[in-house]
């Protein structure tokens, strides 16, 4: 089980647990505000944009080129941005903290 914490734009903190699937799916299933996942996770809508806690960037992994191209033109993007549909849940993510970008 990996525990993942989402911090929304209203500063609400939600900790959820899962052992598989995408981080976006976990957030959508639990109604995390600001994560819509409109495209279902194929990297086309950017409605799953999060900022990874700066000290945990390595834990979350790097964006692929296609993901980085999407992020380049997203509002509020910075060097900690990820599209969380592209983050697969594994035990390694335990303790990850993500701030919802929108």
Partner 1 sequence: MKISDIKDPFVEARQQKGYAQVSDQDDPVTMMLRLKDVRKCAHNAKTFSSEDIPGRIVVPSEVNIRTTRQIPFEVDPPKHKGFRGLLDPWFKRPLEDDYKQKLHSIVDKLVTENLAGNSVEVIKEFSLVLQSRALTLLLNTPFEDSKLWISWGTHVFRSEGDALDGDKAQVLYDYLDEKLDEALANPSDDLFSVLLGAEVDGKKMSKEEAKGVLILTFAGGRDTVINAVSNTIAYLADHPESLQRLRDEPEIRGRAIEEFIRYFSPLTHMGRVVKEDTQVCEHAAKADTRISLCWASANRDETVFENPNEIVLDRKLNPHVGFGFSHHNCLGATHARQILSTLIDVFCEKVSTIDLLDAQDNIEHWDDFDRKVGYENLTVKFNKA
Interface contacts to partner 1, rule CB under 8 A: 38-45, 64, 66, 69-70, 73
Cβ–Cβ < 8 Å for 98, 5: yes
Extract the tokens encoding 92. Answer: 């390694």
Taking the complex as a whole, the smallest distance from the CB of residue 99 to ligand FES amounts, in Å, to 16
β 2-7/96-100 pair status: parallel
CA gap 47, 71 in Å, rounded: 11
Q: Tell me whether residue 43 or residue 56 sits nearer to partner 1 (CB atom).
A: 43
Radius of gyration of the chain (CA): 12
What torsion do the CA atoms of 53, 55, 60, 61 make, to the nearest 10 degrees?
A: 130
Taking the complex as a whole, the smallest distance from the CB of residue 18 to ligand FES amounts, in Å, to 16
Q: Tell me whether residue 2 or residue 71 sits nearer to ligand FES (CB atom).
A: 71
Taking the complex as a whole, the smallest distance from the CB of residue 29 to ligand FES amounts, in Å, to 13
Q: Which position among 8, 14, 33, 39 is part of the footprint of ligand FES (CB under 6 A)?
A: 39
| Chain residues in the site for ligand FES (CB under 6 A) | 24, 37-39, 41, 43-48, 83, 85
């Amino acid at each position: 089980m990996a525990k993942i914490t989402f911090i929304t734009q209203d500063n609400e903190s939600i900790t959820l647990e899962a052992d598989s699937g995408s981080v976006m799916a976990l957030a959508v299933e639990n109604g995390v505000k600001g994560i819509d996942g409109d495209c279902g996770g194929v990297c086309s809508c950017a409605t799953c944009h999060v900022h990874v806690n700066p000290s945990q960037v390595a834990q979350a992994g790097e964006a692929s080129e296609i993901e980085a191209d999407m992020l380049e033109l997203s509002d509020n993007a910075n060097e900690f941005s990820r599209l969380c549909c592209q983050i697969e849940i594994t035990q390694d993510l335990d303790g990850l903290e993500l701030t919802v970008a929108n």
